[in-house]
Amino acid sequence: MTAITEVPGQLDPSAELPWWQGAAIYQIYPRSFGDSNGDGIGDLPGITARLDHVARLGVDAIWISPFFKSPMKDFGYDVADYCDVDPIFGTLADFDALVHRAHEFGIKITIDQVFAHTSDEHDWFVESRQSRVNAKADWYVWADPKPDGSPPSNWQSVFGGPAWTWDARRRQYYLHNFLSSQPQINAHNPAVQDALLAAMRFWLDRGVDGFRLDALNFLMHDLDMRDNPPAPDDGRRKTRPFDFQLKLYNQSHPDILNFIKRVRSVCDEYGAIFTVAEVGGDIAETEMKAFTAGQEHLNSAYGFDFLYAEALTPQFVAQAVAKWPDEPGLGWPSWAFENHDAPRAVSRWCAPENREAFARVKAMLFASLRGNIIVYQGEELGLTQVDIPFEQLQDPEAIANWPLTLSRDGARTPMPWQAAEAKAGFTTGDPWLPLGEENMSRAVDRQEAEADSLLDLTAQLLRLRRFNPALRIGDFTVLYADDEVLAVRRTAEQQTIVGVFNLSAAPVPWPDALGLGGLIMACVNQASIGGLPPYAGLWIEE
């Protein structure tokens, strides 16, 4: 089903470029990657033990989702201590061992920094809520009620309901854009900024190579606390009060840019440190470009273009990538088809009977994009979305909005390492989420034994991307896009590679506009110059 032709004479462009430019990054959700102690929850030693898999895959870096001390009400995105490891994941010594081992493999380490909010169990908030005059009284967003006792503004939480909770000790409301147990940081306060930057230095001093800044556009609020206006009817289904507003004042404050400059300054002190902003929302593209403009801001931005798209179509791909042309001063994009918050792509984008073929063309298309590509754990295996029954749900958003919100748990299920093992080699205990029977057959050991597996294909495609400048750093031009076929050209350093993809479940003729020349570097699903079977794709060096 797959053919790869090695193209000799190409050099690894990472030797002359920042390591992160054009990188392939592997996202690890630590609760679900590898469990070393049998408690059913993945941990840092479990990641270290499985780094050989990541190294064989050939990625440049890993991104580890939060492992910090936390009550786990939002599974680590509610941080109780920015500078410590939660005991369920291990210790600081375990983290140091992970960094050391990854660097031995030549793998960089990036970690999440969740700065927009903390847990309500963080020492900062515990002190802040005690009174209006203590040393950290202004470290969170507090506000008096309106004369009628109602919240200071109409802002709504992402997870449902008002974004304000009353606190009797201060006789004030505190802001939370997510769970009520995730109080909003007051990042307008310079002392708070200093503390957040100190946390970054803590991890930089331990050898971290980069950061993903979670929910960065939520970092600062409108100081006048003006009400958000209602959102116009755009035809999309609204399942939460949050969806009924234009989020003009609870997020996206222009002063976020000044904090970003401080982040960049700290990271520049440590050398080639990679910074990527997670940015969602109605004006994501505008904010992503502002957060990454020039040399004073972040290196890259991580958007949601593909994560919730209902279909992968040629026009959609062309439109998404066109937002990030190779122009002076414009930031560098980072792309993901899957992550810990979004449903598995093979379950969203094709019929069950086509998943094997589709996963191959998806992998080739993904490796063709200009920018950084972030592979979510299990994507290289073709894992599908697991249907988690309500009584086994862990995701607070899914529980609160059941059944109208698709559970994030279905994409967070444990990695299947060994097909014949009862717990798929993930744990010896009871896994915190069910593995999903269908995914057991896609286990790592089974695919390692197959010469033409999706795992093998993914590693080969990533190797070609790494060693061919056109694929890693070249410019990106759409040559052809109709309802079924997408053709793109990547060009760099006198090398040109054309990618042609049939994104439909039916065979299609070769577009006359593309011509018939060139050397086939790689093809999937019997693609050839002149013929495109269902979900076929190929790379041609011109």
Of 16, 104, 194, 269, the active-site residue reads 269
Which of 323, 268, 328 has its CA nearest to residue 298?
A: 268
Which residues sit opposite 495 in a β-bridge? 492
Peptide bond into 18 cis (omega under 30): no
Residues in the chain: 542
Residue 91: φ, ψ to 5°: -135, 170
Which residues sit opposite 173 in a β-bridge? 143, 166
Which of 530, 540, 452 has its CA nearest to residue 499?
A: 540
Which of 45, 46, 22 has its CA nearest to residue 34?
A: 46
Is 35 part of the annotated catalytic residue set?
no
**How far apart (Å, rounded) are the C-alpha atoms in residues 500 and 131?**
63
Which of 299, 363, 405 has its CA nearest to residue 523?
A: 363
Of 74, 94, 120, 214, the active-site residue reads 214
Instruction: Label residue 386 exposed, middle or buried (CB < 10 Å: 0-12, 13-18, 19+).
Output: buried
Is 269 part of the annotated catalytic residue set?
yes
Q: Are 118 and 125 in contact (CB under 8 A)?
A: yes
Q: Are 347 and 436 in contact (CB under 8 A)?
A: no
Token pair, residue 245, equals: 């507003």
CA 123 to each of CA 129, 245, 251: distance values in angstroms, whole numbers, following the listed order: 10, 33, 24
Peptide bond into 403 cis (omega under 30): yes
**How many C-beta atoms lie closer than 10 Å to residue 5's C-beta?**
12
* Bridge pairing between strands 495-502 and 475-481: unpaired
**How far apart (Å, rounded) are the C-alpha atoms in residues 99 and 270?**
16
Cite the active site residues. 214, 269
